[in-house]
Each structure stands twice: as C-alpha cells, then as structure tokens.
A = this chain, B = another copy of it.
Amino acid sequence: MKRLKIGLLGLGQVGSGVYSILKSKGANLARKNGTAFVLEKIAVKHSIKKRAVHPNRKQLTTNTRSLVRDPKIDVVVELIGGIHPAKELILSALRSGKDVITANKALLAEHGRQIFGEAKRLKRHLFFEASVGGGIPVIKVVREGLVANQIRSIYSIINGTSNYILTKMSEEHLDFKEALKLAQKKGYAEADPRLDIEGIDAAHKLTILASLVFGGWVNFKDIYVRGISSIRSEDISFAEEFGYTIKLLAVAKKTADGIEAHVQPTLLPKSHVLSNVRGSYNAVLMQGDEVGDILLYGRGAGSKPTGSAVVSDLVDLARSVDSDHSFAPNLKPLKVRNISSLLSRYYLRLHVVDRPGVLAKISEVLGRQKISISDVIQKERRLGSVVPLILLTHGTQEHSLRRAVHAIDRLAVLKEKAQVLRIEE
C-alpha cells in the first residue's frame, strides 16, 4: 500500500481534530483509498502540555523548521494560523518538495499570490478546504462540483462568532457586550475577538472564495470591511419592525465595472434564505450561470468539523499525488470597485431632539443628494426629548449617502452620529 507521510504543524483545536479523526478512521480511509495516512511528526510549542489528544512522545517535536524540511515527510499540514512563522514554514515546505495543506485564511488572503505562485512554480499541491467555511466543503464545490459554471455572485455568512452574537442579540435581546461575553464563555470567540467581530476574518475568507471563482486575484486590502461592534439591540428591533434581520454579510459580485466585494452588517429580509442561518452556523449562497442559486450550510468552525475538511484534503492529495495539476487560482489581479460607487438602499438610525420640522429638515438634506425615503419609524414622541428616528431610503450611491449623512451629523437636532447600514433585498 502507498503511504502518505504527514508532518503536522500545530496541535491546537483543529490539529487535535485532525489527529483524532486519523486515529479513529485512518485504517478505514486507507482501505478505501489505497493509501495509508501516516502521522510522522507533529510540531508543538511545548512538548509537555495537557491536551485533548495524546500522541506518543516520538511523534512530537518543537522544531518546526526541521519538520518542514524532513525528507521523510510528504505533506505538511499547517494548522498554527497567523502570518508568521506560518508563511515561512509553508514556503520552506514547498521548496523542500512537499505538498501543503493549510487552514490558514489570514495567510492565504494576505499573501496568497506569493504562496500560490510558489506552489505553482514548484508544481506542488496546495490544498486549503478548511480555510473557508470550516467543515463545509465549499472549496471543493466551487472548484469541482460547479466547474461548469461561472459564479456571478456570493452572499455569505462566514464568521460564526459574529453570527452567534447577532443571533443572541436578536433572540434573547442581549446587547452587544453581553452577547460577546456569552460567545467567549461558549468558546465561540477568542479572548481577543477583533478578527471576528471587526469583520476581518470574514474578509479573509471572502478574498479566498472570490479569487477562486472570479478567475483572478482579489486584493484583500481592496475589500471594504466593517464589523458588528456598532450594532445595538435597538437596531435589531427596528430592523425587525421593517421585516429584516441584521447579518454580517460577506458579498462578492462580478459586474461589468469590476468586482464588488464587501463585508458589513446588513439588513436582509426575513424571508431570505440566509436570514434563517442562526447561531454559529455558516452559509454560502452562490449564483452560477448554469446551476442557478446554490446554498451550502454547516459548521464553520470547531475542532472536528474543520478537522473533517483537512482530512478530506489529505484524501484528495493521496488521489492526486501523481498528477502535476496544482489547482492554483489565477493570480492576475482583479479590479475591485470602490464601495462609494455602489448602489444600495440604506437604513439610518438617528437620535434627534423631537421638535417640529425635524423630519422635514432631514428629508431636505437627503433630497439635496437626490435620496428619497421609503419608510419611517418615529417612536416615543415627546416634544423636546431625544428620540430615535429610523429611515429606510430608496436605492442610492454610497457616496451620495455619505455626503448626506455627513451633513445630517452636523445638524443641531442630532444628538449622536447616525447609524448607517446597507440593505440587501
């Protein structure tokens, strides 16, 4: 039987998942695929530490640099995350003639052109199913299952932490801080949750997905990113009154003027298929020119779901070791449209002093930018006190809206800066 000798970098959450799946199912996978999966070496920070899994001492090493150059190893599985030293280790592994499997979305998003380029040049395989959507085989589906399609658009919920927080805010009427604490308690959010709640993790994944389906490389820095930390429970309640939920939506579309790509909290109609994605689940909705709408839904994180994706890459690699097909995305840079030129409807939440003529004044400012109002809610009216005034606009370009909001924010009746959220239909 063929043997695929694996060097594992990292034995944290995902690494432990991979380890335990190989331990419990390795023999069965070997029998079905004609390849034995041999965990040759595992690089860890501390060789003695309490862990969920217990490899034997001889498998463990703290020397990552020698692991990635070890001639006994065929494939390096990088699960340490972050940019450094993951980048140097992956490049070193590729240059030592090894194939690489990684779950590192930050690295692929920010240095993908260099890393994919190097893999291509060296004719090594670089697999990354676990980098987007955790256990959901979204990379396989877009690359193989939908190979006959040009993907026109991606609408996705690809950060489980943010979706968990927004779900708790909506269903249990928590405020943002309470929901974040709950997420941390449940292990869904890191001690430093910024990558998740500021939308950066979702933008990393969107970079990879968009670069894969639009036939060129999307620069991570060109993606407009805004997280969920400014969302208040009142925004969620007002959105609900209008028939919407608020989701951290990662969107990419191919248009005649370039790629549209952004991550931001967005109002979605309750009847939209993504509105029902609750808790820490992820979902990716794509439109293919042949297949139409297709949705993939599942666990976007966690030890075993993500481990399941890494192991599927190992099996794919075992099947394609002899092929020189490197499956690299096209690395030619794509033009991403500036967010200011995009057309959308908007939700505005203003805290104003309730005084006659306030709505007229605000409508006038919007009117100057040719923005018309489709819906209004004005609550708890008490003359002279500060009350929320909620407006939904008709479609307008972002730059017109920004100009109007800038003017509105300077009105004397405004008691705090306006909240502005995009609406998708």
In chain B, what residue has the closest Cβ to A283?
A: B295
Q: When the two chains form their complex, are residues B315 and A147 in contact, meaning their CB atoms are under 8 A apart? A: yes
Q: When the two chains form their complex, are residues A291 and B299 in contact, meaning their CB atoms are under 8 A apart? A: yes
Task: Tell me the complex Cα distance, A307–B304, Å.
Answer: 34
A302 to chain B, nearest CB (A): 8
Q: When the two chains form their complex, are residues B308 and A298 in contact, meaning their CB atoms are under 8 A apart? A: no
Given contacts A137-B146, A141-B141, whether A292 and B315 have CB atoms under 8 Å apart is no
Q: When the two chains form their complex, are residues A297 and B273 in contact, meaning their CB atoms are under 8 A apart? A: yes
A312 on interface, CB distance cutoff 8 Å: yes
Q: When the two chains form their complex, are residues A290 and B305 in contact, meaning their CB atoms are under 8 A apart? A: yes
Chain A positions 1-60 with a Cβ under 8 Å from a chain B Cβ: 17, 21, 25, 29, 33-34
Q: Which of B21, B144, B148, B295 contacts A140 (CB 8 A)?
A: B144
Q: When the two chains form their complex, are residues A21 and B299 in contact, meaning their CB atoms are under 8 A apart? A: no
Q: When the two chains form their complex, are residues B295 and A308 in contact, meaning their CB atoms are under 8 A apart? A: no
Task: Tell me the complex Cα distance, A49–B305, Å.
Answer: 51
Q: When the two chains form their complex, are residues A299 and B305 in contact, meaning their CB atoms are under 8 A apart? A: no
Q: When the two chains form their complex, are residues B135 and A292 in contact, meaning their CB atoms are under 8 A apart? A: yes
Task: Tell me the complex Cα distance, A305–B292, Å.
Answer: 7
Chain A positions 131-155 with a Cβ under 8 Å from a chain B Cβ: 135-137, 140-141, 144-149
Chain B residues with CB under 8 Å of A296's CB are 294-297
Task: Tell me the complex Cα distance, A311–B141, Å.
Answer: 14
In chain B, what residue has the closest Cβ to A304?
A: B290
Q: When the two chains form their complex, are residues B290 and A146 in contact, meaning their CB atoms are under 8 A apart? A: no
Q: When the two chains form their complex, are residues A148 and B312 in contact, meaning their CB atoms are under 8 A apart? A: yes
Copies per complex of this chain: 2
Chain A positions 254-290 with a Cβ under 8 Å from a chain B Cβ: 273, 276, 281, 288, 290
A319 on interface, CB distance cutoff 8 Å: yes
Chain B residues with CB under 8 Å of A276's CB are 273, 276
A271 to chain B, nearest CB (A): 8
Given contacts A273-B276, A297-B297, A325-B34, whether A146 and B308 have CB atoms under 8 Å apart is yes
Q: Which of B144, B273, B316 contacts A312 (CB 8 A)?
A: B144
A265 to chain B, nearest CB (A): 22
Q: When the two chains form their complex, are residues B308 and A290 in contact, meaning their CB atoms are under 8 A apart? A: yes
Task: Tell me the complex Cα distance, A149–B146, Å.
Answer: 22
A365 to chain B, nearest CB (A): 40
A416 on interface, CB distance cutoff 8 Å: no
A293 on interface, CB distance cutoff 8 Å: yes
Task: Tell me the complex Cα distance, A34–B327, Å.
Answer: 12
Chain A positions 302-331 with a Cβ under 8 Å from a chain B Cβ: 302, 304-305, 307-309, 311-312, 315-316, 319-320, 323, 325
Q: When the two chains form their complex, are residues B297 and A148 in contact, meaning their CB atoms are under 8 A apart? A: no
- Kindly name the residue among A290, A295, A297 whose own CB sees the greatest number of chain B CB atoms within 10 A: A290
Q: When the two chains form their complex, are residues A145 and B149 in contact, meaning their CB atoms are under 8 A apart? A: no
Q: Which of B33, B149, B305, B308 contacts A308 (CB 8 A)?
A: B149
Task: Tell me the complex Cα distance, A137–B148, Å.
Answer: 12
Chain B residues with CB under 8 Å of A298's CB are 291-295
The proximity string for A residues 353-386 relative to B, scoring 1 for CB distances below 8 Å and 0 otherwise, is 0000000000000000000000000000000000
In chain B, what residue has the closest Cβ to A271?
A: B276
Q: When the two chains form their complex, are residues B290 and A144 in contact, meaning their CB atoms are under 8 A apart? A: no
- Kindly name the residue among A136, A147, A299, A320 whose own CB sees the greatest number of chain B CB atoms within 10 A: A147
Q: When the two chains form their complex, are residues B315 and A291 in contact, meaning their CB atoms are under 8 A apart? A: no
Task: Give A residues with C-beta under 8 Å from B.
Answer: 17, 21, 25, 29, 33-34, 129, 135-137, 140-141, 144-149, 273, 276, 281, 288, 290-299, 302, 304-305, 307-309, 311-312, 315-316, 319-320, 323, 325
Instruction: List the 3 shortest-distance A-B pairs measured between CB atoms, nearest first.
Output: A137-B145, A135-B291, A148-B311
